[in-house]
Structure 1
Amino acid sequence: MPARKVVPAKHPRIVATATAVAERLSAGDGLLYRYLHEEPPDGLEGDEGAFVLCSYWLVDNLTAQARTDEAEDLYAALCSRVSPLGLMSEQINASTGEFMGNFPQAFSHIGIIASGVNLARARETEPS
């Protein structure tokens, strides 16, 4: 909703929603699952890892809520997971840190870029 300017990111309901999503879908170390189900709604077989783009969504929410230090810490932790070639997969096994799913994954790279831009803009506009 904040991304579409429907409700401000700092609105108490949005803050509560982002907090609840982060807590409920947490895979640990800032990683988030995209859903929790015995059988995934996408109908695909196999285990579901933490969905990388969801963690960048959290970075963007923290940034928009002026929680820039938290956002930067999470962003740095996520960026530290890239492969030696600077690539990311679609998902990460939260237990082992291994890449899962499509590799390389454009969504994950879009997250890196968009969240980095959002953080840089937030730092530029912060009062000194």
Structure 2
Amino acid sequence: MPYDIEAEVDAAIMEVAQAWGIRTDTVAPIVDEYGVPLVRAALSQVQDEMANGYAVQKPFGYMVSLLRKGVIQAAAVVDVKGQAEASALYERYHRGRALSGKGPCVCCTDAAEVYERYQCGKATT
């Protein structure tokens, strides 16, 4: 394992152990199994829920259960997919306006650019 990755793993283990007041050898297998980004996302989610009044008796156990159920993984995929889908829908909407001859919408700052790109493509085909 390169030094940077090893240091990041150790930092995540310490972060979780200090947050919940548990031993690092309890946290290490979870970080090894799920990886640093997902463990940090789970820690953040549990801390946010607790800050908003959700009472958790065993926060580390709750965090691990979210990881084992796939809740954190699903949220990570939704975040990535949601961004990609939004840009695809945006592009599709403006392409449709260009091909139908409706003109660019006034609500988007770069709509005219997208409209022109598809108008030029329409004229050459």
- Of structures 1 and 2, the one with the larger relative CO (CA 8 A, separation 6+) is 1
Normalising by structure 1, report the TM-score.
0.27
Greater helix share, structure number: 2
Structure with greater proportional strand content:
1
Q: TM-score, normalised by structure 2?
A: 0.28
